[in-house]
Amino acid sequence: MPNSPPAIYSCGTHAPGWVNGPNPATPGQNINGTVCFNWSGNSCMWSQPVQITNCNGFYVYYLQPINWGCNGVYCGQ
C-alpha cells in the first residue's frame, strides 16, 4: 500500500486508501497503524485501523472491512 495519499479517483474508486505512517522496518515486526482515505481535499477524510507485518521483503496487511461507505477502497501497489 502507498505511504502517501494517492489522487482521488485512483485505484478504481473515489476515495483511495493509503498507510499514514511508516511500515515496520524489522523482519517479523508487527505494528498497528492507520489507513487514511483521500477525498475532497482532505487526505485523511476517513480512517481505518490496520495491522502491518514485515515479512522480510514484503508486507502483510490485516485490513478491516470499510464500514463508512461504498466509495473507499484500499489501494495496492
Going by C-alpha positions, the residue among 33, 27, 16 that lies closest to residue 57 is: 27
Give the span between the Cα atoms of 46 and 60, in whole angstroms.
22
Report the number of distinct structural domains present in the chain.
Answer: 1
**76 occurs within a structural domain:** no
**38 occurs within a structural domain:** yes
77 pLDDT above the threshold of 80: no
**Residue 15 is part of which domain span?**
1-65
Give the span between the Cα atoms of 66 and 59, in whole angstroms.
20
Global pTM reads 0.91
Task: Express each pLDDT in 20-76 by its tens digit.
Answer: 999 999 999 999 999 999 999 999 999 999 999 999 989 999 999 988 777 889 998
